Structure 1
Amino acid sequence: MAAAAGAFEFNAIEGGTLDLDDWIGQPVLVVNTASLCKFTPQYDGLQALFDQYRDAGLVVLAVPSDDFQQELDVAEEVKEFCEINFDLDLPMTDITHVRGQEAHPFYKWVAQTEGFTPSWNFNKILLAPDGTIAATFGSRIEPQSQAITGRIEAMIAD
């Protein structure tokens, strides 16, 4: 069995940390995001997905990244941008590297475990309740697509 994602912590956008261990037992969709990308409107879908399944345990974690030079300069600007434009209340990390040598350990683990590295903003990694990687999705897969919701529904039905 592959290692589980629970061993990873992110710096939270509002300060403090977000520990994936806190969400073991729940499905988690981790999405590398950016404020100035053509896929940025997917924030609406991410929030809708979170709203639809949060009571069943789904966590949607937004991971702002400037690895593709499409993120605002400071975390406070990102947080404000997301609150004003998308009314986001899903958990969000500080601006984080998702690829290359400086990638966050979670993303290095995903690359090593699954061979998946975000190729652009709004790539998605679905973690099963046991912390293993259930699926990965590219930018073009919408958050509320059947490919994603079908897997989430199967996880929360168990």
Structure 2
Amino acid sequence: MAGLFDIPVTAADGGATDLSAWRGQVLLIVNTASKCGFTPQYEGLEALYRDYRDRGFAVLGFPCNQFGKQEPGNAEEISNFCSLNYDVTFPLFAKIDVNGTHAAPLYTALKKAAPGLLGSKAIKWNFTKFLVDREGRVVNRYAPNTKPEAVAADIEALL
């Protein structure tokens, strides 16, 4: 997907940015939530990040409150929760919408590039994962119940 690294996103501090800092890296982009049954996946996501970051890999977390209002906090609360409970060091961005008229442009592009089950474009729940290659192409979309460790072989293949 040409231009993925140039799509505007909002940093956790509210500043405008894009993904250009990760150009040339393999990415796992995830919509996250702190009060979800899948929240323990933070541990596995952090393990992937630590295992592969020195080889050009990053996990990028995008908190989202669209599913059961399971991400009610502000950026500081989310960051503190992730740090204290899961020792998260991978980048977290500002809270976004992943579906609907206010969906973040990044998620509009990800959903178009990798539709879900039966061609559905909507994100179904928290912790949907998109694997992106070094050129910015979406390689795979993983369901929320796919554990981070199950994605390791696919990451290895792209590194």
In the superposition, the TM-score normalised over structure 1's length comes to 0.91
The answer to whether the 8 A contact 1:107-1:117 is kept is no
Q: Distance in 1 between matches of 2:131 and 2:122?
A: 13
Q: Distance in 2 between matches of 1:71 and 1:35?
A: 5
Q: What does residue range 117-132 of structure 1 map to in structure 2 within 5 Å? A: 117-132=122-137
Q: Distance in 2 between matches of 1:31 and 1:45?
A: 12
Amino acid aligned to 2:32: T
Instruction: Give the deviation of 1:155 after TM superposition.
Output: 1.1
Q: What does residue range 104-143 of structure 1 map to in structure 2 within 5 Å? A: 104-115=104-115, 116-143=121-148
Q: Distance in 1 between matches of 2:114 and 2:140?
A: 9
Paired position in structure 2 for 1:50: 49
Amino acid aligned to 1:134: V
Instruction: Give the deviation of 1:3 after TM superposition.
Output: 2.9
Instruction: Give the deviation of 1:22 after TM superposition.
Output: 1.9
Gaps of 5+ in 2: 116-120
Paired position in structure 2 for 1:154: 157
Q: Deviations over 1:119-144 (max 9, x none)?
A: 10000001110001010001111011
Secondary structure at the aligned position of 2:42 is classed as helix
Paired position in structure 2 for 1:85: 85
Amino acid aligned to 1:152: I
Q: Distance in 2 between matches of 1:141 and 1:4?
A: 27
The answer to whether the 8 A contact 1:4-1:130 is kept is no
Instruction: Give the deviation of 1:18 after TM superposition.
Output: 4.6
The answer to whether the 8 A contact 2:114-2:140 is kept is no
Paired position in structure 2 for 1:75: 75
Q: Identity over aligned residues, as a percent?
A: 38
Gaps of 5+ in 1: none
Instruction: Give the deviation of 1:15 after TM superposition.
Output: 4.3
Q: Distance in 1 between matches of 2:112 and 2:132?
A: 15
